[in-house]
Chains A and B, each alone.
Chain A
């Protein structure tokens, strides 16, 4: 039985149970039915993908949370993270998952002795994961930083490694969790950098001074890069004074190591 319900324009429209005899009503019914059925399938497929990818990645979540808080993780935990991210990637093509997978491989490699053969293989696999991830999500500062690290470990400060470092700074110039990691690489690669890249590293030093001056002081000492750090901070005498105070506190002689 046809039921007439007035529509917004005051014209009756088909609200019938059963097939409509009105050709416009039937066309509308089929249009709505087919389009929405397609969207229903889309929701079920996409929703399932995200559920499965999340469930697969669950085991890696606590490890990532630890890393976000800068808590060291064991090789076993890194393996859990790798396994979780590999499973996640089976369900969902995500740049982020591939980048985290690369990180897990790097962490496992780090846990091996420096002369272990397996180490280079893992770092190469990490670089491959990172490239895959960056090809899907190119604006990931973390991904580029990790790629720079793996390429530098594999082939030294090659143009590709320096480009990766440059893109990491371009993608996330002021990311506190990356600053010291990138600065360590930037100071190591310093002799190979051109003027533009050096300017980026100096900018990172200024930012690191704002984020964690003590860690910067320790890093500068460790990398024997006090002159570079002092040059970056030369317009901020109060920060320089504080840097020297921190270095004195940690048992260093500011004048001797900084070159004055």
Chain B
């Protein structure tokens, strides 16, 4: 069951990032089945509650409050004064009396709620399965290998100038790599998440080898040996994913990834007390490598930088203002989760392009749709994950890299969400939830003060053998 779960999550980018209802519907059914079986085994006493509610309540409580609020947005039992004024239109036009609600489109809101609960379920299953260190490692590696495969596909398509996404002709950003995703920025976030994971694995391997000696020269030798001889597969994967990321020409994606990698290195040094000079040297090398690839890799960059610095690249500023206007209109209630596109059509000014369906800022879009209190709750979910993984990185001796990866992945998605909508693409959010679940599961020390010997043996076994 663990393998089926991992396969489901890591293959989500394949059907165009799971953006269509049939594809995220399949993901929801698959994850629902895994969760149902997990529950059955838990209730039958055949599977452990590896991470208890008490350990993750700061994440679960705001999540369930948001879910409860979305359900309230969809039901008609709420006070009429809360309902969107558009619900009075059918009555005045053709004497119909529909069940009015807070959301302007209950079908769209129910679709968005289904996706949100799917993400929550992925987080929960990763949290429970990821408590076991071997399962955690397997899941992270599976994600990395899948990302390498998708990057390789993207590179082949890009370099052969096929200009297709699977068997569909590319409609947007024709010269940029987007792999199996429709949008290059979305793939950039996905690749960034994978790059954080593979960087974490390399970092842990190198630092583990270097930590065994006090002599700097010997330490560097061991580090180089760890990179060349023992991490060649990971290094090859890193280079492939990084190349694909660069060819997306996504400034926001690259910026968030660099920030996430910097936070990974900083937290790892802070948490492990590793040799700063060597780790910083490695990190600098990686960033220089990325920078060099930017300079020599493609001509698309120059255009992108010029566009971002000197020209108005798009209507993002106007979108932000429009979103603020939406928040001002319904600050507490929102227009209904998932209904930004409808709101946008309703309030779009004449001088704005109609091509936008998202606010290009997940925080503002969530505030428009959910209202401010629920949007703050949704942000609190990410803050709680960041806090838990930060603490975990500091607390853990062995496997501190997982909480570090989780923290950096959170930095990546939270920063990128300021500029784009990657978290609204199921494949990206599924990957993030997998990483976050594993990181939160591994945030607690594996060796308690009591029953140390028996615990260590137990932790070497998978939490269950589904």
Contacts and interface: CB of A to CB of B under 8 A. Distances in A.
A135 B350 contact: no
A34 B44 CA distance: 12
B313 interface: no
B273 interface: no
A86 B419 CA distance: 39
B25 interface: yes
B111 A50 contact: yes
A43 B450 contact: no
Interface stretch (B116-124, B195-203, B366-374): B116-124
B104 A43 contact: no
B27 to A, nearest CB: 7
A176 B354 contact: yes
Given A32-B49, A172-B346, A5 B36 contact: no
B28 A50 contact: yes
Interface string B157-176: 00000000000000000000
List the 3 closest A-B pairs by CB distance, nearest first: A43-B32, A47-B28, A40-B36
Given A3-B458, A43-B121, A137-B107, A8 B444 contact: yes
A113 interface: no
B156 interface: no
A33 B43 contact: yes
Interface in B106-138: 106-108, 110-111, 114, 117-118, 120-121, 124, 131
A42 interface: yes
A174 B86 contact: no
B121 A174 contact: no
B49 to A, nearest CB: 6
Contacts of A18: 45-46
Nearest to A134: B90
Interface string B399-441: 0000000000000000000000000000000000000000000
A15 B449 CA distance: 16
Query: DSSP majority for the A interface?
Result: helix
Given A29-B43, A44-B36, A46-B28, A39 B121 contact: yes
A136 B110 CA distance: 13
A175 B46 CA distance: 57
Interface of B: 20-22, 24-33, 35-36, 38-40, 42-43, 45-56, 84, 86-87, 89-90, 92-94, 96, 98, 104-108, 110-111, 114, 117-118, 120-121, 124, 131, 342-343, 345-346, 348-350, 352, 354, 388, 443-446, 448-451, 454-455, 458, 463-464
B161 to A, nearest CB: 25
B49 A46 contact: no
B346 A171 contact: yes
Contacts of A49: 25
Contact of A163 (B92, B131, B448, B458): B92
A17 B114 contact: no
B54 A43 contact: no
A50 B52 CA distance: 32
A30 B42 CA distance: 8
B93 A43 contact: no
A177 B49 CA distance: 54
